[in-house]
Chains A and B, each alone.
Chain A
């Protein structure tokens, strides 16, 4: 356990601050990660409640618990909060902050003060998003803020757009910080191809954050300018082109999808080898596929716009590029499965979540091809099929990886172990609820139920009712999971420095880590996934 120096919980950094100040003014990447953890989980729970309210409304034909304007506001805020306050910052800001410096053998990120500033920007953006609820009516545009409606809507779109703008800045500054950290603070003996895969995925993500976020910042700025000055840049009556808005929006927002999924893949690449007691299959292939996803993923934005009006050539090109992205994604899935093949598999809650990830992400990815293909897209565009698809990827993918990461690194972050049995029960509830929640939406979408509608035809009722039931099971599972985790902080068993038998650097230091991460200079291995010692120790 912790040595005579004590963990970062006992030693604030900078040391001159105590009490609340030692958290709110800290520059320690580990404390900032915990600040993010609590704020991001709170947002997640809030947006989850909004989500379940939406599904309750849809469980029965006609108005069930809310009017259509409330419904519009709820799905907009559910989307805005889940995307800008949970999925995009979630894994990089919590696990990236906590683990990236440790993974590369550094004492902190390169710009510790900027790191804290990013958290404050994040909180400011969140506060503005909440403020938009209480002034002039919450926004009702959907998280995409499409023109012309976002320009003519009387609700407080400006405030929400400003919130998203500030959150973008927070995300971009974190990206700059992480890239510089990797380049300047990587332990001298650690070559690029000796870096753990999670560090690699955060690094690749950071580049997307830095290069794609300015586009959405600009797009949101233009929405604000249009709302305040009315230059007519997107108004067809005055020469503007509303489709251009959609292009600008998706030029960021599609790469943002990869900001959401790449770090999740990084987590899976860490969990699978540890519990297979086997070196990751195709280390370099996974690294290169991360970079390939980052690059190719930036070139497919217009596949969200097949029905908006584009030339056939453009549709063909974007469809082809979309299929290209599937290749590096599949490389990863095959690598994970090949890692488990003939491994000495040890079932634990993190591995359980990782396995759910592989299954759910694959379904999400394959249905993505249905949408990415120009033909079938016309049939299912803007239906519940799309809703089911991106929830499979964003929640079944990133969400499950996030839960898996929480269970994997919880003992490292807090030095406490949660109850396995409760963790399994919650994981099963979430997974079963998930399937019941989203599979009906695929069928509803295929049979023509549009997304974002407050009401529907009676023939869609069975599917919507089932989805609602699944939603409740899922919410129960998620609540149980967080309860189990947070209760462990009080009476959980103390965790060893290396409870799983990991090989990356975080497992070589105490749980929780000391304030400078390592008591002595960490030993850099020639390969981060060499399990020969672990195998001897645990078997």
Chain B
């Protein structure tokens, strides 16, 4: 019989991963709702969205895309390192992922700072006086990149937690699953950015 005691000691990695995947579906739905808003407003205010996109700093966005892609690579590599049971390598790669995550956030912070200095922020006088489409574009810009930034922070906390566990307990089925799942989450955060980037920075 499958008793409680056996269940607590035995970790069913496949099941935990399944739970994680289902959670990721819900995250996709969360951002999906925002993309619906974007789609509707894009059709209503196409010229304003194009103009708004031109105001954003394309190079900052592009650099952030590259940073996240590299961090996804280091994340995937750390999972492989865990599989090969090379603890040190895994920890270094996780640390690098955290570093790139922080770099992304720093970049975003600078970018938001410039915009806010230029008087473009939610409910700012210049947006309120400007065309309604521009107001909506930047409202969506702040909400979507803000929510994405929040997910980057959560991802970094999860990865940091996983790295701490690996450092303390070494490589085991449990820590391996933990790192693998935080990796899944990180890739999702990365993937959402892959959609956010063209929607805001590359509007034709």
Contacts and interface: CB of A to CB of B under 8 A. Distances in A.
A241 B26 contact: no
Interface string B6-38: 010000101100110011011101101110110
Interface in A150-202: 172, 175-177, 179-180, 183-185
Contacts, number: 118
A133 interface: no
Interface of A: 13, 106-108, 110-111, 172, 175-177, 179-180, 183-185, 210-215, 217-219, 221-222, 225, 229-233, 237-241, 244, 247-248, 251, 515-516, 518, 520-521
25 contacts: A110-B12, A110-B19, A176-B23, A176-B26, A179-B19, A183-B15, A210-B22, A210-B23, A215-B29, A215-B30, A217-B30, A225-B122, A230-B122, A230-B123, A231-B135, A231-B139, A231-B143, A232-B135, A233-B143, A239-B41, A239-B132, A240-B139, A241-B41, A248-B33, A516-B1
Interface of B is mostly: helix
A85 B133 CA distance: 39
Contacts of A214: 26-27, 29-30, 32-33
B12 A218 contact: no
B2 A106 contact: yes
Interface string B36-63: 1100110011000000000000000000
B3 interface: yes
A238 B128 contact: yes
B22 A218 contact: no
A106 B197 CA distance: 45
A176 B19 CA distance: 6
A231 B30 contact: no
A311 to B, nearest CB: 13
B173 to A, nearest CB: 15
B18 A184 contact: yes
User: A13, A184, A213: which has the most chain B beta carbons within 10 Å?
Assistant: A184
B19 A232 contact: no
Given A214-B29, A233-B140, A184 B14 contact: yes
B40 A107 contact: no
B29 A231 contact: no
B40 A184 contact: no
A241 B132 CA distance: 11
B26 A213 contact: yes
A215 B29 CA distance: 6
A110 B37 contact: no
B36 A107 contact: no
Nearest to A210: B26
A114 to B, nearest CB: 8
A515 B34 CA distance: 45
Contacts of B34: 218
What are the nearest 6 A-B pairs in CB distance? Answer: A239-B132, A231-B139, A184-B15, A214-B30, A214-B29, A231-B122
Given A214-B27, A239-B45, A516 B40 contact: no
Contacts of B45: 239
Contact of B1 (A110, A218, A233, A521): A521
B38 to A, nearest CB: 11
A107 B33 CA distance: 37
